[in-house]
Structure 1
Amino acid sequence: MSEFEGKLVDLYLVSPRSLAVVLGDLEVAGMGSCPEGDLNILLVVIDTLRADHLGCSGNLKVQTPVMDRLAREGVRFTRAFTHIPITGPSHTTLFTSRYASEAGVRNNGQAIPYEESCLAEAMQYAGRSTFGFISMTVLGKSFHFDQGFEVYRDELPPPWMLSAVEVNARVEEELLNHPRETFFAFVHYCEPHEPYSSHGLSECRVMARRGDEWLAEADIDREIGLSFKTVLAPGVNPIRFSSQREFRLRGCSVEPRPNGLRQIPGSGWKRDGRGILSTRDAELAFHVPGEETTEVTIHAVFSEILSETESRRNYALEVEAVDTALGELLERFEAAGLLERTLVILTSDHGESLGEHGHMGHVEQLYDPLMAVPLILRFPDGRHAGRTVEDLAALSDIPPTVFDLLDIVPPSKPRGISLLPLIEGNGKGEGRALFLETYRPEAREDKVGIRTPFRKLIRTLGAETEEVYDLQNDPGEQVNILERDPLTNEKLRLLLAEQLGEGAAGPEAPTPRESFLDEDAKEALKALGYFR
């Protein structure tokens, strides 16, 4: 009996050309003399990286020599965008080339359905070893992001984030020390996702005490997690957290977790609009029912409360730090002899608002600071080096581009397009429109939108309010021109209606498939600012 009997499977068609050892006619894709059989794919996603925080994009205040070099040696898309500014849903689109809502993944904590066809699966069927290295819990196996990966490193102890340096160590351990013939590797860095570190420019020490007993302390600018052992007895066990500066308690997990444990904030805590607690000095009571005393380890995750100026400074420092880490990774690839036969794709899952439109962070809005992402493709032979493409591009375009490059017939119709014709100058992307979306409960309101090269329409559902921006004359999206040019606005509405048609995408799309979230998983998502 076949192991696939009774199962729904994806079939990938690989053309004879892609099975050849050498592809002489693949020069149009920029591969030149690099045989397809030797081509590796390295997809690097730098979480929360704004498109305008690279030197190659004209930012002279942020030093990104590694990413700038990739742009000089490759192709940079100057107008690339995510469809949704939330990490898990955005990666769903990146892996499937379908809108996140179409796949039923509108928020973090929702799993990609197994019947969706993912990029790594196609790479595996095409004969490549597949590796995934993540740095945030929201991309873990629990949510099916490991589909198609032979190796998927998602072990993330509290504080549920790994530094880029730690991710690099895992890449070296799993891939660089044991190179395969060909591979597809996905590397995810969480910097510069909040909490933003000053990398030593400032200090915010948080201390945990139980009565007169000192338990632990840490500089949360460097270490966002504080872990300590203690004993929880039946009844109320108060633990005091204090610092010289105000800080947020983003999450707190207990291992092993006593049955029925409740965490009750004492006086001195404030709660923001997302339900996150903050204080400078307050108690958190751990209430244990029953009669058993348990020795536990408590993992508390904090972040320093920063001014807008401090946030902008620290965000830039995080970008510079991850650029350095990326350089170290590429140096290791080069030393292993892999870079010369590896296509490097660099992008982000979404941007970050740093005070624009009165907002800090992502998720909530569909303005360009959150939606614009860097997108660089560096071909191994240097073909197309230094080229910039101004046509609209999107994260949904990455799977079709890889499929086109490797001559793989997509298993289903993608939402994205192959970018190879645009790279060659043979495409026509000027009339393109991109669908945008973000949803409750992580966002405060459901919003959908449409973006063309020169206009953007944003609709807030429920309230049914609309915003229209002239992106050519108002790139900062400051003036709502809804009442002007009704003919153009109606065309935008028709484009949006086409994307929302038949409930394929948007709030009427298939019901999200929730993964089972235990208390620790909820604490992990809350610590990352994603769970309410």
Structure 2
Amino acid sequence: MLLTAPGCGGRDARLPGVNLVIITIDTLRFDRLGCYGYESIRTPMIDEWAREGVLFRDAIASVPLTLPSHTTFLTGQFPPKTGVHDNGAYTLGEEKTTIAEYLKKAGYQTGAILSAFPLNRKYGLNQGFDTYRDDIPREFVLYDERLISGPKAYNLQFESEQRRAEQVTPLVKEWLDSLNDDPFFLWLHYFDPHGIYDPPPPFSDMYSDLAYPSDLYDAEVTYLDHHLRDVKRLLEDRGVYDNTIILFTADHGEGLGDHLERYHDQFIYDTTVQIPFVIAGGAVPDEWPRMVSAPVRSADVLPTFLELAGVSHEDDIDGISLVPYLDGVEPFPEDLTQYVESYSPQHNLCVRLFGLRKNGWKYIEAPTPELYNLAEDPGETTNLADRHITKAAELRQELLAMIDSAEDIPEEVDFESRKKLEALGYIQRTERRIEMAENQEADPKDMARSIDGLHESMEYFTYGMLDSSLAVSLRLMEIFPGQPRIYDNVGNLQIRLGYYEDAVRTFRGVIQTQPRYIKGYFWAGMAYLRLEQFPEAARYLGKASAMDPTLDIARYNLGVALARSGDYSNAVREWETLIQNGSDDRSIQLAKRSMVDVKKALEEAKETGRPIQIETD
């Protein structure tokens, strides 16, 4: 069923032939902009759009994560309907209709310029776009010398698949130059200021008086703002700015340490789901209000833009058109339901989170339910669920009705996609928390200190401060026993730093209390390998490989330990198995090279009678 966009009453387009632009900024917290009251930052272009257009003070994204959040923007549907809940593991179905498909059918030229791998066309958001520029250059330039010399430099430079704001502007010009006189729809996605925060000079020193991470985060935002000025200039030079509506917004915010969240996907507090939302451009009618305090959602973008263009849409959407309210035909609804969720806590062995904001209240469904009075407690610091039981039950009932029919069919994340997502700080392979029953999951609130500590350790690691990273991880291991990611951090760091005997003691102790922790055998085996105690190395690595045949790096190093023990035939057998069945390309290539070296050394020893001299990685 097709409907005229809500509020049209069958009339013509509100703004006939208007050009439509959506600019989404990844990880931009709404309260870090001058127009939202943050006085410590310089964002002149964004502030200019806010003055000339309409600034919405209470806009909410459905998910604090790139792919599912953008899916709601483009479809007008919340995640329970789109079926897209996380990065990498979900694809928008072809049966869904995007705003680009509606507008293309109505004669619009459609284009998208993307800046990060989570929005790659393989995840389905390219539907309806004539041009979808997800062809991101392989090399990502780093500026901070600590990052350049750090252990994650290669991953950040060559596996993260992201582009900076300065690389977007030439693509915008190229696309605009290719257009005819028909109206156009353009979606621009910027990945700045997503972590790791590495603004280029001179922006990098602009806020040196602020503490980390505000100094670098704010610098990235100002750098982004500088390049948004170029977008406005391109539209003006082409003579189309006065007939263009621009939505400036973000897919989600950033924790920046609030609620013990450094980044953005483990909770659904307003720090990460409340977003900037500004409708600007030369075509904004003079009679529209300059500021709106009523609630709006990312799902409202599709019906709003379609009504402006006079395009009909299907009725199975969650958003509403804002046009009648902007025109003053009706007052903005104050009781709009704002839905939020995050599936990301499951990567840390916690429950998924679901929430609802309505009439100034916010409810979060979790093992310990949460209820906040946002008018009195905008920072969400005082949980009122036990004091306002009726209100919590009312919101919970409405929330459960929304999620009971949710589509949830995750896909296996392929190895190459996993590498790119991990390089961007997303999605880690992890074993279940060891002592948990199979059906037990934790409340993310109870794991906040652990997760924040892991992020702190990873920041030290990324900047090459390995001893500091290890100190944090060892402290976490004592406070939160039984967490594989913490153990893995300790093992990786002790091996990298050459603390092999410490690693042996650490992981032999861990194995005694946690015998099902597979990587414990791996890390102990690696330590023995570095100590050149090859039989012990083979024993522990063999145990790890037997417990998890897909742990390719364990099988490769088992072959190394066997070869160095003189058991060449079994070493070759392990490498052949890895080459045949493995998925980790690096381990496979190492196995091929080592197998050639061993076979060559065996032939030379047979011909010369000299002892075998072989080096393996």
1:429 aligns with 2:409: no
1:511 aligned to 409, 420, 426, which one? 409
Q: Structure 1 pair 332/201, CA: closer, same or farther in 2 (3 Å)?
A: closer
Does residue 162 of the first structure (1) align with residue 163 of the second (2)?
Answer: yes
1:374 aligns with 2:276: yes
**TM score, norm. by length of structure 1:** 0.70
Name the CA distance, whole Å, in 2 between partners of 1:450 and 1:150.
36
% identical aligned pairs: 31
What is the CA–CA distance in structure 2 between the aligned matches of 1:379 and 1:166, rounded to whole Å?
A: 23
Match for residue 426 of structure 2? 530
User: Residues 72 and 386 of structure 1 are in contact (CA less than 8 Å); yes or no, is this contact kept in structure 2?
Assistant: no
What is the distance in 1 between the residues matched to 2:364 and 2:65?
Answer: 17
Which residue type is aligned with residue 530 of structure 1? Y
Residue identity in the other structure for 1:511: I
Which of 27, 43, 48 lines up with 1:48 in the alignment?
Answer: 27
Deviations 1:95-116 (A, max 9, x none): 1111223222111112111111
2:333 counterpart SS class: coil
Give 3-state SS (helix, strand or coil) of 2:176's partner.
helix
In the TM superposition, 1:109-124 aligns within 5 A as 109=88, 110-124=90-104
CA distance in 2, matches of 1:161, 1:337: 31
Aligned letter for 2:319?
G
1:498 aligns with 2:499: no
Choose which of 431, 452, 468 in structure 1 pairs with 2:371: 468
Aligned to 1:448: 354
- CA gap of 1:382–1:419, structure 2 versus 1, over 3 A, is closer
Matched, 1:183 2:184: yes
> In the TM superposition, what whole-angstrom CA distance separates every residue of 1:290-317 from its partner, at most 9, and x where no partner exists?
xxxxxxxxxxxxxxxx9x9321111111
Structure 2 vs 1, CA of residues 188 and 202 (structure 1 numbering), >3 Å: closer, same or farther?
A: closer
CA contact (8 A) 1:71 1:386 kept: no
Aligned to 1:253: none
8 Å contact kept, 1:311–1:354: yes
Check whether the contact 2:288–2:327 (CA below 8 A) recurs between aligned residues.
Answer: no
Asked if 1:416 is matched to 2:332, the reply is: no
The code of the aligned residue for 1:417 comes to: I
Partner residue of 1:251? none
1:181-208 alpha-carbon deviations (Å, 9 max, x no partner): 21110000001111112434799xxxxx
One-letter amino acid matched to 2:195 = E
**Higher helix fraction (1 or 2):** 2
Matched-pair contact (CA < 8 Å) for 1:453–1:471: no
Measured in 1, the distance between the counterparts of 2:24 and 2:245 equals 14
The question of whether the paired residues in 2 share the 8 Å contact of 1:93 and 1:396 is answered with: yes
Q: Which residue of 1 aligns with 2:236?
A: 334
1:403 aligns with: 306
AA matched with 1:510: D
Give the alignment of 1:122-521 within 5 angstroms: 122-156=102-136, 157=138, 158=158, 159-176=160-177, 178-200=179-201, 309-383=211-285, 384=287, 387-425=290-328, 426-440=330-344, 441-442=346-347, 444-460=350-366, 464-500=367-403, 503-505=404-406, 509-512=407-410, 514=411, 517=414, 519-521=415-417
User: Could you tell me whether the CA contact under 8 Å between 2:255 and 2:263 is conserved in 1?
Assistant: yes
Q: Which amino acid aligns with 1:483?
A: D
1:138-179 Cα distance to aligned partner (Å, 9 max, x none): 101111111000100101223300111111111111223545
Q: List alignment gaps of at least 5 residues for structure 1.
A: 1-10, 204-220, 222-305
* Mapped partners of 1:434, 1:202: distance in 2: 36
Q: Which has the higher contact order (CA 8 A, sep 6+)?
A: 1
State the one-letter code of the partner of 1:192: P
Q: How does 1:75-86 map to 2 (within 5 A)?
A: 75-86=54-65
Q: Which amino acid aligns with 2:361?
A: R
RMSD: 2.6
Which blocks of at least 5 consecutive residues in structure 2 are unaligned?
Answer: 139-157, 429-617
* Count of aligned pairs: 397
Query: Contact conserved, 1:466 with 1:482, CA < 8 A, in 2?
Result: yes
One-letter amino acid of the counterpart of residue 76, structure 1: L
The structure having more radius of gyration, on CA atoms, is 2
Which structure has the highest strand share of the two? 1
Task: For residue 468 of structure 1, give the secondary structure of its aligned residue in structure 2.
Answer: strand
Whether the 8 Å CA contact 2:354–2:364 is kept in 1: the answer is: yes
CA distance in 2, matches of 1:101, 1:495: 13
TM-score in terms of structure 2 length: 0.61
3-state secondary structure, aligned to 1:361:
coil
